[in-house]
Amino acid sequence: MAAYRCECVGLLLFMLCTSFTVHIDADVHDYTTQVTDTESDVADAESVLVPDPPPAPLGTGGKQSPQEEVVVEAEVVEAEDGPWEATEVRGEVDDVGDDGDANDHRVVDGPSSTDDFKEELVIRPLSSGDIYASFQFRTVWDTDLTGDQKVSHYRLFPKSLGQVITKFSVRELHISFTQGYWRTMQWGQPYQPSPPGAELWVWFQDTVTDVDGTWKELTNVLSGIFCASLNFIDSTNTVQPSASFKPLGVGNVTDHRFLRYATLPREIVCTENLTPWKKLLPCGSKAGLSVLLKSEKLFHSTFHSQAVHVRPVCQDPQCRTTSLELRQTLNVVFDLHTSGQGKREWSLFKMFSRTLTEACPLASSSKVYIDMTDNPQGEQFELSPATPLLSQAVVLGDRRTYSVYDLTQQGTFGSTRSLNMLLRWKSAEGNMLRPLLHSERYVAGYGLQTGEIHTLMYNNHPYRAFPVLLLSTVPWYLRLYIHTLTVTSKGKDNKPSYIHYQPSKDRERPHLLEMLLQLPPNSVTEVTVEFERALLKWTEYTPDPNHGFYVGSSVISALVPSVVAMDTDSSPERPLFSSFFPCKEEASYFTRLYTEPLLVNLPTPDFSMPYNVICLTCTVVAVGYGSLYNLLTRTFQVEEPSPGLAKRIANVIRRMRGVAPL
Amino acid sequence: MAAPLTLLLITPLVIYLFHFLVDYAEITFILADCLTAVALYLAVKEYNKQVFRKQKFALEADRYPMDCLELIRSPTEMYYIPLKVAMFYLLNPFTILSCVAKCTCGLNNAVIALFILSTLRGSDLLSAIFLALATYQSIYPLTLCVPALLFLLQRQYIPVNVRWSSFWLYTLQYLFMFLGSLVVLIGLSFFLLGSWDFLPAVYGFILSVPDLTPNIGLFWYFFAEMFDHFRLFFLCVFQINVFFYTLPLSIKLKEHPVFLIFMQIAVIAIFKSYPTSGTTFLRNIFLVSCVLLACSALFPVLWHLWIYAGSANSNFYYAITLLFSVAQILLVSDYFYAYLRREHHLTNGLYLKKKDGSEATLVLK
C-alpha cells in the first residue's frame, strides 16, 4: 500500500490546489456548454492534419490571458472589442448568440504570456494481442516562472505545480508512477519509458545553494500533491547521476550537482495517485480525452504508468526565448486475456468503458492516433469507423503510419455523436517482436550472506554496435564488492570506456554505478557484481521483512541505430508522442530502458526478541562485571566456620535480652 | 565467492600501505603473523628472565614462605614456554582463519605483540610508538597505556607515588611520547587524505557500532534488537564497560603489570564492538576449553542453518555467541583468580592452618 503521509506543507498546498482546480473545473464546465454548439461550424476550418497556428478556432484559446476567471467576468463589457475580433474564426461563429463569454476569454489579453494545450491519444495494437494506449496532455506556457517577476495568474497551467516550480527553483521535473513492468520483448519500446514504482528526477536552477535541502522539501510537497510516498525519498535513495540523466529541455546546465534522481520501486500506484494527476489537467476529467481515464478500468490492466514532465522548451525555432512545457502522460497496456476476454477485438468502450463525445474545449488540438503500420492494406485487422486522415511520423527509429481522428471536428463523431473505435483482428497470429535493445536483470546465488547481480543487455542489431549508459543504484544494505565487477560480451571482456562509481555509506547514501559500454552487434553483454547482505536494526525492516527488499531498476540509456532518418528539427507539427526525447542526429535515436527491479532477501533478526536479547546480553555483561568486581574488591581470607542456624537465632534472642552471645 | 580483504577497521595509513601491497596481500598477512609469533616468543623469553631475576632476589631475601617452593617456577619447566606460546599462536585455527580471510586484525596483533616486546625490553620510546600505532588502528589499546607505564616505572625503580617528582616526570614523558606519536599518525593521515573525514569514519564506526553484521561478539544482536531511544544509553554503557576495568585492575595488579596487560587484552577481546576470532589468543582450562571448542564447532553449523538452510533463525547463532562470551569471561576470571591465589600463597604460605590447627580453606571476602 502506498503510505500517503502527506506532510504539513504538502497537505496545505494540496488543499490550496484542490480548491483552485475545482474553481477551474466549474468554470470549464460552463464554458463547455456554451461552446459545444459552435463546434459544427468550426469543423470545416480544420481539414488538414496539422494543428492550427495561433489564431486558433474558438474554444482553443490560442492567445488568452492568464488572468483569473473572476476578473474576466467583471470585465465583460469593456473587453468586447479586443484585438482578436477580426479573425476568420470570428466570422464563422457569429451566428452563435451567446458566445460573448467565450470571446471575452480571448480578448482580455495579458502582456505577452500565452499558453496552449494539446491532447493526444495513441493506440498501438501489440503483436502479442494486447493493446497499448498512451495519453499525452501538453500545456506550453510562454513564461518564465523562475524569473524575477512574480507570476500569479494561471490559466491552463496548474497553479499547484507552478508554485512548486517557482518556490523550489526547479528547472526540470520528471515524475512517474508505474504499476507493472514494461515487457520490451513482447511490446517493443514504450513512448515514454518508466520504471516500476515511483521515479523522480529534478534539475534545479543553478541559483539554488542548498540543493539537498530543497530536494527534501520538494519531495515532501510533491508527496502531498500526488498523494504518494515520495516523502520516503531521502539521502539513502537519492543519487546524482553524472551522465545518464541529461536535461531533456533546453539549457546548457549539465553540472550534475543540480540533479537529483530517486526511485521508490516499492511504491504501489492506485486511484489516489490518479485523481490528483487528473486534477492538473485543464479540463479535469470532464471533457476531452480524459473522460476515458476511469480508475476502475485503468487499474484493471497489466501495465499502468502516469507521469508528469515539466521542462523548458524553445518558444520559436531560433530558440530566443523559452516556454515552460508540462507534459502529462499516461500509458496503459490492456491484456488480451484479462481485459480482452481472450478475443482479439478492442474498442474504446471495451478498454475504458467510455466513448469519446467531444474534445477538451480548451485544447488547441485533440487527436486520436491508431498505429496502422503493420496493417497497410487492412490484412491484419480492420478499423471502424474508418478515417480518411493518415499521418506518418518517425518514432523510435522507425517510420510509422497512423490513422488520425481529429476530435475538434464534429464530423469525427458521426451521427451518434460519440466515437468508439473498433479494432477487429482477422487472424489470431501475431509475429514476435525482436527489439533492437532489451535487457534482463536478476540476482544469483543462494543463502542470505552474499549474492550476485546480473544485468544482461541484448543488442539485436545484425551489424551495428551502439553505446549504452548503464546506471545502477543499489541500496547501502547490499554491500557491493566492486572488485568483482565484470563486463563480458561474446565471452570476452568488454572494457567500459567510462565508469563512475560512488561507494555507499551506511544509512547515508546508496551505491551509484554508471558505465558507458559499447554493445557489439548481435550480442549479449553481461554485467555482474557480487554483494554482501547487511543485518539491519530491527526497526529498519519493513513490516513484511521476509518479503524482501526492492532494488530499483537499472537505467539503460542508449543511442540505438535508427532504421530511417530521424527528424532533427523539433517542429511543433509533430505528434506529441514522437517529440519527447530531443533528437540530435539522424542516424540514431535516444531511448531509455528500465530493467526489472530486484527483490532481495536480507537476514532478519527475531522480531519478537528485543526484551529477551537485552536481558540476556546484559546478564552476560553483568556476569563479566560481577566476576571481575568480585575478584577486585575482595581478598583471600581463611574461612572461619560459620555458626549453625540454631545458634545464630539463639544469639539474636540473647542480644535482644542483653545477654552475652554464645 | 571471491573473498575480499575483510579489512575490519581500515585506517587511512593501512589503505595507503595496501596501495603498495595489494598484490602481495597474502604474503603480508603471513609475515604479520610470523612477526607476531617471533615478537611473542622474544617477549615471553624476556619476561621469564625477569621473573627468574625477581624470584632470585625474593629467595635471597627469604621473602617466600618455606612451604610454597613448589609454586616457584623452575628454569626447566619454563624453558619451552616461549616456544609454546609462539607455536600456539601460529597453529591456532583462529589465527589461521583470520590470516586466510586477510583480516587486518592480524596486523593489529603484530603491532600489539611488538608493543609488548618493546615494553618488556624497557624501551619506552618504541613502546609508546607501537602503542600509538595500536591505538590508531582501534582505539581500545588505549587502556594498555597504564600497564605499560606501570611496568616501565617498575623497571626504573620509580615508586608509584604522587608525591615523587620523578614519577610525574616519567609519566609525563611517556604520555608525551605516546600522544606525540599518535598526533603524528593522525596528522599523517590528514595529509594523505586532505580532510578530517576519516576520524568519524574510523573511530565513530568503532564507537557507535553502525554495522550489525553478525560476529562472535555481544554487540551485533544487542544493537540490532535495541529500542531506538535506548540505543545511545546502552552504547555508552557498553563502551564505558571496556575502558572501565582499567582503573580497578591497575590498582589491584599494580605490582604485576604484565598480567595486567594480559587482563586488559582479554577484556578488550570480550567486550570490544567488533571482535574477531583473531583476537583470542588465550590458554585453556578443561571446562572452558570444552565450551570454547563446542562453540567454535557450532558457530559455522548454526551460521549455515540460519543463513543458508533457513531452518534456524538468528537466535540460534546469538545463543552461541552468548555462550562463547560467557566461556571467555569464565576463562579470564579463572585466570585472574588463580593468579591472585598464587600471589596470596607466595606471601602467606601454601598450607594454611586455622587457629585451631586444622586445615583451612581460602575464601574471598
Cβ-defined contact of B214 to A603 (cutoff 8 Å): yes
Residue A384 belongs to a domain: no
Residues of chain B contacting residue A634, judged by C-beta atoms under 8 Å apart: 364-365
Q: pLDDT tens digit string along B32-78?
A: 889 988 998 898 888 888 888 888 888 887 767 666 666 676 777 77
Cβ-defined contact of A603 to B314 (cutoff 8 Å): yes
Full domain range(s) for residue A222 = 124-371
State the pLDDT at residue A70. Answer: 35
Position A640 confidence tier, pLDDT thresholds 50, 70, 90: low
Q: What does R_g of chain B's alpha carbons equal in angstroms?
A: 22
| Closest residue by Cα to residue A534 from B23, B50, B209, B167 | B209
Q: pLDDT tens digit string along A387-436?
A: 878 888 888 888 888 999 998 888 888 888 888 888 888 776 666 677 89
Q: Mean pLDDT, to the nearest integer, of A535-540?
A: 90
State the pLDDT at residue A377. Answer: 73
Q: pLDDT tens digit string along A113-155?
A: 688 999 999 999 888 888 999 999 999 998 877 666 777 788 8
Q: Mean pLDDT, to the nearest integer, of A605-621?
A: 91
Which chain B residue is nearest to residue A452, measuring alpha carbons?
B1
Cβ-defined contact of A603 to B210 (cutoff 8 Å): no
Q: Quick check: B260 and B146 in contact, CB under 8 A? A: yes
State the pLDDT at residue B358. Answer: 62
Residues of chain B contacting residue A638, judged by C-beta atoms under 8 Å apart: 352, 354, 360-363
Which chain A residue is nearest to residue B314, measuring alpha carbons?
A605
Copy the grid coordinates of residue B98.
Answer: 583470520
Backbone angles phi, psi at A355, to 5 degrees: -120, 170
Q: Mean pLDDT, to the nearest integer, of A71-94?
A: 36
Cβ-defined contact of A605 to B314 (cutoff 8 Å): yes
Judge if A7 and A144 occupy the same domain: no
State the pLDDT at residue A601. Answer: 92
Q: pLDDT tens digit string along A303-333?
A: 999 999 999 988 877 788 888 999 999 999 9
Copy the grid coordinates of residue B11.
Answer: 585506517
CA B203 to chain centre: 19
Q: Which of B220, B322, B348 shows the shortest C-beta gap to A620?
A: B322
Is residue B126 classed exposed, middle or buried when 0-12, 13-18 and 19+ CB atoms within 10 A define those classes? middle
Residues of chain B contacting residue A478, judged by C-beta atoms under 8 Å apart: none
Judge if A206 and A280 occupy the same domain: yes
* Distance between CA atoms of residues A320 and A315, nearest Å: 7
Q: Which of B212, B226, B365 shows the shortest C-beta gap to A614?
A: B226
Instruction: Point out the domain boundary residue: A350, A371, A392.
Output: A371
Judge if A134 and A266 occupy the same domain: yes
State the pLDDT at residue A577. Answer: 78
Residue A497 scores a pLDDT above 90: yes
State the pLDDT at residue A305. Answer: 95
* Cβ-based contacts under 8 A for chains A and B: 141
Which residues on neighbouring strands pair with residue A334, listed in sequence order? A131
Q: Which of B267, B308, B360 shows the shortest C-beta gap to A446?
A: B308
Q: Does residue B290 or residue A556 have the better pLDDT?
A: A556
Amino acid symbol at B104: T
Q: Does residue A109 or residue A491 have the better pLDDT?
A: A491
| Closest residue by Cα to residue A148 from A205, A210, A220, A64 | A205
Judge if A138 and A253 occupy the same domain: yes
Q: pLDDT tens digit string along B165-202?
A: 888 899 999 999 999 999 999 888 888 888 888 888 88
Best residue in A532, A636, A637, A642 for a mutation probing chain B (most B CBs within 10 Å): A636
Cβ-based neighbours of A19, under 8 Å, separated by 6 or more: none
Judge if A456 and A347 occupy the same domain: no
Task: Write A380-385 long-range contacts (CB < 8 A, 24+).
Answer: A380/A125, A380/A425, A380/A426, A380/A427, A381/A125, A381/A344, A381/A423, A381/A424, A381/A425, A381/A426, A382/A423, A382/A424, A382/A426, A383/A421, A383/A422, A383/A423, A384/A421, A384/A422, A384/A424, A385/A414, A385/A419, A385/A421
Q: Mind telling me how many Å the CA of A535 is from chain B's nearest CA? A: 5
Judge if A447 and A363 occupy the same domain: no
Q: Which of B326, B337, B360 shows the shortest C-beta gap to A620?
A: B326
Is residue B131 classed exposed, middle or buried when 0-12, 13-18 and 19+ CB atoms within 10 A define those classes? buried
State the pLDDT at residue B285. Answer: 55
Residue with cell 484559446: A61
Q: Mean pLDDT, to the nearest integer, of B356-365?
A: 64
Residue with cell 571482456: A493
Which chain A residue is nearest to residue B356, measuring alpha carbons?
A640
Residues of chain A contacting residue B223, judged by C-beta atoms under 8 Å apart: 537
What's the whole-model pTM score?
0.79
Residues of chain B contacting residue A481, judged by C-beta atoms under 8 Å apart: 2, 4
* Distance between CA atoms of residues A603 and B176, nearest Å: 47
Residue A41 scores a pLDDT above 60: no
Position A375 confidence tier, pLDDT thresholds 50, 70, 90: confident
State the distance between the two ends of chain A, measured CA to CA, in whole angstroms: 80
Copy the grid coordinates of residue A317.
Answer: 525555432
* Distance between CA atoms of residues B314 and A227, nearest Å: 38
Q: Mind telling me how many Å the CA of B244 is from chain A's nearest CA? A: 10
DSSP H or E stretch at residue A368: strand A365-371
State the pLDDT at residue A597. Answer: 94
Backbone angles phi, psi at A401, to 5 degrees: -110, 135
Residue A430 belongs to a domain: no
Q: Which of residues 225-264 of B touch A (CB under 8 A)?
A: 225-228, 234, 238, 241, 245, 248-249, 252
Residue B213 scores a pLDDT above 50: yes
Judge if A308 and A209 occupy the same domain: yes
Q: Which of A507, A609, A637 shows the shortest C-beta gap to B225?
A: A609
State the pLDDT at residue A91. Answer: 34
Residue A335 belongs to a domain: yes
State the pLDDT at residue A520. Answer: 94
Best residue in A628, A630, A640 for a mutation probing chain B (most B CBs within 10 Å): A628
Q: pLDDT tens digit string along A441-478?
A: 999 999 898 999 999 999 999 999 999 999 999 999 99
Beta strands in A460-567 (DSSP E): 466-474, 478-489, 492-493, 498-502, 511-519, 523-533, 549-551, 555-561
Alpha-carbon distances of B296 from A201, A629, B12, B109, B305, rounded to whole Å: 50, 28, 33, 20, 15
User: Can you give the three-state secondary structure of B20-63, one letter per residue?
Assistant: HHHHHHHHHHHHHHHHHHHHHHHHHHHHHHHHHHHHHHHHHCCC
Residue A76 scores a pLDDT above 60: no
How open is the CA angle B93-B210-B140, to the nearest 5 degrees? Answer: 55
| Closest residue by Cα to residue A44 from A91, A96, A84 | A91
Residue A194 scores a pLDDT above 90: yes
Residue A225 belongs to a domain: yes
Residues of chain A contacting residue B4, judged by C-beta atoms under 8 Å apart: 481, 483
Copy the grid coordinates of residue A468.
Answer: 549504452
Residue A491 belongs to a domain: yes
State the pLDDT at residue B360. Answer: 63
Q: Does residue A242 or residue A48 have the better pLDDT?
A: A242
Q: Which of residues 339-358 of B touch A (CB under 8 A)?
A: 340-341, 344, 348, 352, 354
Position A368 confidence tier, pLDDT thresholds 50, 70, 90: very high
Q: CB of B364 within 8 Å of any CB in chain A?
A: yes
Judge if A148 and A285 occupy the same domain: yes
CB-hemisphere CA count at 13 Å for A22? Answer: 6
Q: Which of residues 287-306 of B touch A (CB under 8 A)?
A: 306
Residues of chain A contacting residue B234, judged by C-beta atoms under 8 Å apart: 614
Q: Which of A532, A613, A639 shows the shortest C-beta gap to B363?
A: A639
CA B331 to chain centre: 14
Cβ-defined contact of B228 to A638 (cutoff 8 Å): no
The domain tally of chain A equals 3
CA B358 to chain centre: 42
Q: Which has the minimum average pLDDT: A74-83, A356-365, B229-238?
A: A74-83
State the pLDDT at residue A510. Answer: 95
* ipTM for the predicted complex: 0.87
CATH number of the structural domain spanning residue A503: 2.60.40.740
Q: Mind telling me how many Å the CA of A609 is from chain B's nearest CA? A: 7
Work out the mean pLDDT of chain A and round it to a whole number. 80
In degrees to the nearest 10, what's the CA dihedral of A356, A358, A361, A362? 20
Cβ-defined contact of B212 to A534 (cutoff 8 Å): yes
Judge if A491 and A348 occupy the same domain: no
Cβ-defined contact of A481 to B326 (cutoff 8 Å): no
State the pLDDT at residue A496. Answer: 94
Residue A8 scores a pLDDT above 50: no
Judge if A357 and A443 occupy the same domain: no
Is residue A258 classed exposed, middle or buried when 0-12, 13-18 and 19+ CB atoms within 10 A define those classes? buried
Residue with cell 543553478: A206
Judge if A346 and A206 occupy the same domain: yes
Residue A652 belongs to a domain: no
Position B8 confidence tier, pLDDT thresholds 50, 70, 90: very low
Alpha-carbon distances of B21 from B27, B38, B103, B130, B361, rounded to whole Å: 9, 22, 14, 21, 58
Residue A99 scores a pLDDT above 80: no
Q: pLDDT tens digit string along B257-280?
A: 888 888 888 888 888 777 665 444
State the pLDDT at residue A26. Answer: 40
Residue A596 belongs to a domain: yes
Judge if A155 and A271 occupy the same domain: yes
Q: Which of B2, B211, B318 shows the shortest C-beta gap to A484?
A: B2
Residue B233 scores a pLDDT above 90: yes
Q: Mean pLDDT, to the nearest integer, of A17-21?
A: 42
Residue A128 belongs to a domain: yes
DSSP H or E stretch at residue A224: helix A211-226
Cβ-defined contact of B4 to A537 (cutoff 8 Å): no
State the pLDDT at residue A380. Answer: 77
State the distance between the two ends of chain B, measured CA to CA, in whole angstroms: 56
Q: Which of residues 68-107 of B touch A (CB under 8 A)?
A: none
Which chain A residue is nearest to residue B315, measuring alpha carbons?
A606
